[in-house]
Amino acid sequence: MLVLVINCGSSSVKYQVRDTAATGEDAQVIAKGLIENIGGAEIPTHTEALHIMAEALVEPLHGKTIDAIGHRVVHGGEIFSEPVIITEDVITKIDELSPLAPLHNPAHVLGIRAAQETYPGVPMVAVFDTAFHGTMPAHAYRYAVPEDFYEQYGVRRYGFHGTSHDYVTGIAADFLGVERSEFNGVIAHLGNGASITAIEKGACIDTSMGYTPLAGLIMGTRSGDIDPSALTSVMIQNPEITAEKMDTILNKQSGLLAIAGNNDMREVVEAMEGGDERAKLALDMTSYRLAKYIGGYHVAVGGMQALVFTAGIGENSSQFRELAISRLGALGIKLDAEANLVRGDEPRVISTKDSAIPVLVVPTNEEKAIAEATEALTK
Ligand code: AMP
């Protein structure tokens, strides 16, 4: 089946056409691309962007037609706990969830509408970044704040990167030869955004991102967890820092960037190796925060059968993995230094044979997961 996977942001569209019947990643990916600067003079709306995409797909498709379209949608709120066929009602609900994801959900609606115009009659599926976390129990997703916050504003933990955590959980269980429904593990998705998920019996029981993707781990430009009173205190002391400004500071000017002066993990590691004290502090903070979460989630899942690293940093930064794993001695986890240096697209073990808990690297593939979910609902 030929599935077009679309990820619409407010000013960009990322797309990929996948042949789900082909074998291997290279054969599956028929075409991919990124269209930016939507809203500018040349590409005023998502409709023009999708026309440009459709034009670019003519040649690689060789006359074949798209069978189905899968849309990545950031927020499914408490409504969507699995992928769904897109109907008018679904579009309305995605739009109604916009207060929870003001930058993303309105853009998804524009993208879905534009796709309907460009590919009339082609079935479409929405795959939600939050959906996999729908199995969290209330004691993990509720915040201890007045009930109104939850009832009126939907303030609770939702979690993100769900498509990736779900996909990697399935691959890890398979790799270990464990039934997914019997698999307890901890998945660390460490990319530009980073989150960690506690998996019990193959399902999510806790995750580090919260009401928004700001919470939890220290990321490239996001602070992760912080005492909220520190923020209100700064805002009271300096009224020029409005809520919007504070939001920008925490999301775009914090994390590795704030401490090390750079948000690219490769460069921060290089700087540390060259003796840069700020880079060292940033990496110490980031790996320490991650190790605390791993310890906590090990307890949450009743003892993990594996710790799994994925995404840009998790898959590629042997140095960062080493820093994090060096803090896990109390769990009897031992890194195999040589295995840790191996690179590749396949799942692999990076712990020693006598490590109390195996540590894996499992490459993630959100487009593949979205294409498979789309196929499952439309074939
Ligand atoms: P993602 O959001 O999953 O694409 O991950 C992006 C992050 O992965 C960036 O912080 C990059 O610095 C990091 N990254 C990608 N390749 C490498 C690498 N070879 N070594 C260290 N970090 C990497």
Output the domain CATH number for residue 31.
Answer: 3.30.420.40
Whether residue 297 lies inside any domain: the answer is: yes
Residue 197 and residue 101 share a domain:
no
Whether residue 214 lies inside any domain: the answer is: yes
What is the number of the ligand 1 atom nearest to the C-alpha of 264? 12
Q: Residue for token digits 């955590």? A: 165
Whether residue 148 lies inside any domain: the answer is: no
Average pLDDT over residues 102-111: 95
**Which of 110, 128, 146 is at the close of a domain?**
128
* Helices 88-96 and 105-118, axial angle in degrees (round to 10): 160
Residue 357 and residue 251 share a domain:
yes
CB 210 within 8 A of CB 225: no
By C-alpha distance, which of 7, 117, 20 is closest to 67? 20
pTM for the full predicted model = 0.96
Average pLDDT over residues 312-339: 98
Residue 81 and residue 23 share a domain:
yes
Average pLDDT over residues 255-283: 98
Whether residue 254 lies inside any domain: the answer is: yes
95 belongs to the catalytic site: no
Give me the pLDDT at residue 89, please.
98
Residue 191 and residue 116 share a domain:
no
The Cα 22–Cα 27 span in angstroms is: 6
Average pLDDT over residues 310-339: 98
pLDDT classification of 260: cutoffs 50, 70, 90: very high
Whether residue 138 lies inside any domain: the answer is: no
Give the CA count within 13 Å in the CB-facing half-sphere of 323. Answer: 22
Q: Is the CB of 70 under 6 A from ligand 1?
A: no
Residue 198 and residue 339 share a domain:
yes
Ligand 1: centre distance to CA 50 (Å): 28
pLDDT in tens, 237-249: 999 999 999 999 9
Whether residue 112 lies inside any domain: the answer is: yes
How many separate domains does the chain show?
2
The Cα 55–Cα 135 span in angstroms is: 41
Average pLDDT over residues 261-286: 98
Average pLDDT over residues 82-86: 98
Structure tokens at 264: 């690219």
The Cα 268–Cα 233 span in angstroms is: 30
The Cα 262–Cα 271 span in angstroms is: 10
Give me the pLDDT at residue 190, please.
98
Average pLDDT over residues 303-313: 98
Selecting among 19, 26, 89, 129, the annotated active-site residue is 129
Whether residue 165 lies inside any domain: the answer is: no
Residue 352 and residue 216 share a domain:
yes
180 is known to lie in a ligand binding site:
no
% of the chain exceeding 90 in pLDDT: 99
Residue 250 and residue 112 share a domain:
no
Residue 206 and residue 88 share a domain:
no
**Which of 128, 161, 193 is at the close of a domain?**
128
pLDDT classification of 76: cutoffs 50, 70, 90: very high
Give me the pLDDT at residue 239, please.
98
Ligand 1: centre distance to CA 370 (Å): 22
Residue 213 and residue 95 share a domain:
no
Give me the pLDDT at residue 22, please.
97
Residue 219 and residue 334 share a domain:
yes
Per the structure, the complete domain to which residue 208 belongs is given by 178-361
Ligand 1: centre distance to CA 356 (Å): 28
Residue 198 and residue 96 share a domain:
no
Average pLDDT over residues 294-306: 98
Residue 182 and residue 121 share a domain:
no
Whether residue 19 lies inside any domain: the answer is: yes
Burial-class residue 151 by CB neighbours within 10 Å (0-12, 13-18, 19+).
Answer: exposed
Give me the pLDDT at residue 91, please.
98
Q: Is the CB of 264 under 6 A from ligand 1?
A: yes
**Which of 128, 153, 186 is at the close of a domain?**
128
Burial 185-212 (b: 16+ CB within 10 A, else e): bbbbbbbbbbbbbbbbebbbbbbbbbbb
